[in-house]
Homo-oligomer: A and B are copies of this chain.
Amino acid sequence: MGSSSSRLNILETASKLFQVQGYHATGLNQIIKESGSPKGSIYYHFPEGKEQIALEAVEYTGKIVREQLNKTLTASADPVESLQSVVQHLVDHLGHPEDVEGVPIGLIALETCSMSEKLRKACSEAFTSWQRLFADKLIENGFKQDRARELGILLQCTLEGALTVSVTQDNSEPLRILKEQIPLIIKP
């Protein structure tokens, strides 16, 4: 099959590195060194090179975050409460970039969106899938479909931004403020 264990190993390592360091700061040498794989394996498993690895890494991260998000969103029935849990989860993992969860795809998205249409689309679809998760939660709780879609987009954007600023300022305050304002934002 096309998917050996070493392939997945490379992909997981690459995903973490791309999230934390970004596309250009992450070299193939670093990926193979940290994953313990031999150099030659890269172009065997990913014949199209770095761009292919990044593409699959974005899709992979998109899925991981989707699952984590889904778990947190279904933990409570109340949309406000569960969304606040999502934010709190980000706060908790702020200083631990070794945990993949919570570090966004925003960096690689901004880096590549004006460079590779393939990568741009992959990032865009990850964003959209997260937005849809938020919207669905609101629809379940009686929001009209159009309104839920709007709020899903707004919430995902706001999360992305607050996370960016919190990381940059090395301070969870932006995320904590967002958490407190969620009841105000989620209004039918």
Contacts and interface: CB of A to CB of B under 8 A. Distances in A.
Interface of A: 20-25, 97, 106-107, 109-111, 113-115, 120, 123-124, 127-128, 150, 153-154, 156-162, 164-165, 167-170, 173-174, 177-178, 180-181, 184-185, 187
B150 A110 contact: no
Contacts of A120: 168, 170
A144 to B, nearest CB: 15
Interface SS, A side = helix
A106 B164 contact: yes
B170 A162 contact: no
12 contacts: A24-B25, A25-B111, A124-B170, A127-B169, A153-B177, A154-B177, A154-B178, A157-B165, A157-B178, A160-B165, A161-B164, A185-B185
A124 B161 contact: no
Contacts of A169: 124, 127-128
A124 B184 CA distance: 26
Contacts of A173: 153
Closest 3 CB pairs of A and B: A161-B161, A24-B24, A160-B161
Given A24-B22, A165-B127, A154 B181 contact: yes
A177 to B, nearest CB: 5
A177 B113 CA distance: 21
A150 B162 contact: no
A78 to B, nearest CB: 20
Contacts of A158: 154, 157-158, 161-162
